[in-house]
Amino acid sequence: MTRPHKTRARRPHKHRKERAPKIVTAQTSESSSESVLTPEADLSPDPLVVLSRGGVRRLSGGHPWLYPDNISKGTLRDGEVVRLEGPAGVSRGAACFSLGSRIPLRVVSREPDFDESSEWAVMRLDAALERRRHALAQNEEACRVVHAEADGLPGLVIDRYGPVAIFQAGCRWADAVAPLLASHLVEHHGFSGVLARHDGAFRKLEGLPEGVMLLAGEVAGQVRWQHAGLTREVDLWSGQKTGTYLDQRENQLWAADALPVGHCLDAFCNEGGFALHLAAAGSHVEALDSSQPALDRLKKQAEINGLADRVTTRTVNVFEDLRERVSAGEQFDGIVLDPPALAKRKGDLPRALRAYKELNLRAMRLLRPGGRLLSCSCSFHVSRAEFLETLRAAAADARRDVFVQSVRGAAACHPRLLTFPESDYLKAVLVEVL
């Protein structure tokens, strides 16, 4: 006799991914809209998200980003701060919400009694300014004032150039709060003006409009600032990023001491932060970049600082130029490699690692015995371990003995939050080649 087959309810697999909630938009009045994350969402006027169990685990792990599959249900208003709860109704803190973003929730607090209606953003801005006051060198005039999530202000970057602040908002909440914080900087911290540089690809990813606009006070087209004895000039309305790359500011000064004085190469130089400091230390520098406007700005800054006779600029494809120099047998005492991000997405990683290896292989072959290379990567998706392994592979193919002298990151005004690895993106490795 055949026993009947007993059926039983299928137990969910512990590793099974939770299905992402369906996002529906509902109009509740002429002046406001709410995003409902499930068809059965609570239509309470108080913005609320109920996290899935996976969302609670991710929140407890400390990472400030929550994704659609971390959400069970909720009623949200675009660009506002919302309360977070677990499946059992336990309060879990607060986050800001961006409709249509690949990162819909950015955590602002894990405190159950967090008051999202208070002026917490202003207080965190004040705290960020105070930290920089203690961390920066005397008379330093340019730095990052707010480093987004690492300073507790999600999606918001603020850079300072003398009396001017430049904002970049990368999520809807940051976009909405920018005018308030800009006015606070002018009225309470002595800034003469605040400019919004909302003109990058980071805005497109969030579905935000692009543009450059004055938020408070007055901002001239260009501003000069002092850094370690050099006068730097930036175009605030159209320069790179917020004007220039402040994350390499400390490494530029360090490179001037660490690289041998002699014939140096600054590859992917942009506006020449490394080239200027190397030249000030006594080296003759060939500065390479594909951007003629950037090189024109470098020439002007070299003239301002009396270094025009030590800096030569060349508009080239750097990959091809390095290959041609290797074929020609050229030699240098010091080289800086600081390419743009070669792995902007995780899928770019294999191609990026090949490119980094090829660049560093050529650079190592161009160095005289005892020469030094400062090799950089600003690609978050390339880890420190992967970058060092890429340098090892390049050294093996170059058939050179290569010694690691130091490994550094971004300037101190770009804090690295342990639970937010995205804040630790810059690698700067100094090696000596024998």
Catalytic residues: 378
Nearest 5°: the CA angle 56, 62, 64 is 90
Ramachandran quadrant class, 148 (left: phi over 0; alpha: psi -120 to 50; beta: rest):
left
- Give dist(CA 248, CA 200) in Å, integer: 20
**Contact (Cβ atoms closer than 8 angstroms) between residue 214 and residue 197:** no
Token couple for 293: 């406007």
**Contact (Cβ atoms closer than 8 angstroms) between residue 427 and residue 406:** no
Residue 344: strand pairing partners: none
**Contact (Cβ atoms closer than 8 angstroms) between residue 374 and residue 407:** no
- Give dist(CA 245, CA 216) in Å, integer: 23
119 DSSP 8-state letter = S
Would you call 48 helix, strand, or coil by DSSP? strand
- Give dist(CA 131, CA 271) in Å, integer: 28
- Give dist(CA 360, CA 326) in Å, integer: 12
Residue 428: strand pairing partners: 376, 408
Locate all alpha helices (DSSP H) within 240-290, ordered by sequence: 249-258, 273-280
- Give dist(CA 72, CA 175) in Å, integer: 26
Nearest 5°: the CA angle 242, 363, 311 is 55
- Give dist(CA 298, CA 273) in Å, integer: 8
Give the β-pairing of 284-289 and 193-198.
unpaired
